Amino acid sequence: MAIPVIDFSKLDGKERAETLAKIANGCEEWGFFQLVNHGIPVELLERVKKVSSECYKLRAEAFRKSNPVRLLNRLVDQEGEEIGNVERLDNVDWEDVFILQDDNEWPSTPPEFKETMKEYRRELRKLAEKLMEIMDENLGLEKGRIKNAFSGNGEHEPFFGTKVSHYPPCPRLDLVQGLRAHTDAGGVILLFQDDKVGGLQILKDGRWIDVQPVANAIVINTGDQIEVLSNGRYKSAWHRVLATSNSNRRSIASFYNPSLKATIAPATTGEEAQPLYPKFVFGDYMDVYVKQKFQPKEPRFEAVVALRRQSRS
């Protein structure tokens, strides 16, 4: 079993209906799919790979002094001193990460990093918006419905962030994972993962399945807010990353999320459709999510409603 790989260029030709159906199936059955021929120039992707690898080489020294490494070293020392097994490191992820947003500081080395990533983010933002319109169409919603929800009907700017991650080789895979299992909080996530080094897995029907590396593909997944807007038709899927003992894995995940001020609720189409999720402000959801990211999502929906009630009383 493998994640669906969809040729996005077919959307513009006579296979449009079939392609829409494949995307609908990816959203409904998997919560994950991969796009090839997505229109982002391969030449740009090559530059993105190059600048992000260079950037990480410059950060390698700092990673050696980072929290996960210090904690793992401490554990290994304890293991040497004590008789019996030590606990696993269940509260950290074996990754080196930074986030690019429109309004934060970006690495200034290598010199091409900023310009390349700016260009990349521009392309990915367009791709995310195109995908949202496809989801509108597949869900029978009016065009622009999801984007409108994310922007509070144009009053706010949706959030668009890019998480540049690197999973260095891990000496003790028995003691630490890569990235712990979670569902994503936001809307549409577009991931440019390593061509060669795998590690990303999704949970499907109770089994962990590899998201197979496909050169220059963009992996798409839907977050909790798309689950809410679709009233549960598109589920946000659990996923995790397993570190490896001998390879460096690059992954660049871009998140197209609602504005923190946007109100999210099921965009039910018929009057008879029962909303299965509450209505809430996305910023409140994020307050809950930061504390409960690695736990099941259902209690998050309950907690966000309780949070509003509390703040009113």
Ligand X SMILES: O=C(O)CCC(=O)C(=O)O
Interface residues toward ligand X, by CB under 6 A: 163, 165, 179, 184, 191, 193, 200, 239, 241, 251, 253
Q: How far is the CB of 93 from Fe ion (least distance, A)?
A: 11
DSSP class per residue in 184-209: -SSSEEEEEE-SS---EEEEETTEEE
Q: Confirm if 169 and 244 have CB atoms less than 8 A apart.
A: yes
Choice between 3 and 139, CB closer to ligand X: 3
Strands (E), the chain: 5-7, 32-36, 96-100, 159-167, 179-182, 188-193, 200-204, 207-210, 218-222, 239-241, 249-257, 263-264, 280-281
Q: How far is the CB of 200 from Fe ion (least distance, A)?
A: 9
Q: Which of ligand X, Fe ion, none does residue 124 bind to, with CB < 5 to 8 Å depending on kind?
A: none
Q: Which of Fe ion, ligand X, none does residue 163 bind to, with CB < 5 to 8 Å depending on kind?
A: ligand X
Q: How many CA atoms lie within 13 A of 292 on its CB side?
A: 18
Choice between 153 and 295, CB closer to Fe ion: 295
Choice between 52 and 254, CB closer to Fe ion: 254
Q: Which of Fe ion, ligand X, none does residue 52 bind to, with CB < 5 to 8 Å depending on kind?
A: none
Binding positions for Fe ion, rule: CB under 5 A: 184
Q: How far is the CB of 310 from ligand X (least distance, A)?
A: 28
Residue nearest ligand X, Cβ-based: 251
Q: Which sign, positive or negative, has the C-alpha torsion 49, 103, 168, 244?
A: negative
Dihedral (C-alpha) 11, 17, 21, 27: value to the nearest 10 degrees? Answer: 40
Choice between 48 and 141, CB closer to ligand X: 48
Where is 146: in which H helix or E strand? helix 145-150
Instruction: Kindly state the DSSP code that residue 18 receives in the 8-state scheme.
Output: H
Q: Which amino acid is at 213?
A: P
Q: Which of Fe ion, ligand X, none does residue 179 bind to, with CB < 5 to 8 Å depending on kind?
A: ligand X
Q: Which tokens belong to 74? A: 């401490």
Q: How far is the CB of 98 from ligand X (least distance, A)?
A: 12
Choice between 170 and 253, CB closer to Fe ion: 253
Radius of gyration of the chain (CA): 20
Q: Which of ligand X, Fe ion, none does residue 116 bind to, with CB < 5 to 8 Å depending on kind?
A: none
Choice between 45 and 202, CB closer to Fe ion: 202
Q: Which of Fe ion, ligand X, none does residue 27 bind to, with CB < 5 to 8 Å depending on kind?
A: none
Choice between 172 and 293, CB closer to Fe ion: 293
Q: How far is the CB of 193 from Fe ion (least distance, A)?
A: 11
Q: How far is the CB of 31 from ligand X (least distance, A)?
A: 12
Task: Collapse the DSSP code of 107 into the 3-class scheme (helix H, G, I; strand E, B; otherwise coil) and give the result.
Answer: coil
Nearest to 284 by CA among 301, 272, 299: 301
Q: How far is the CB of 240 from Fe ion (least distance, A)?
A: 8
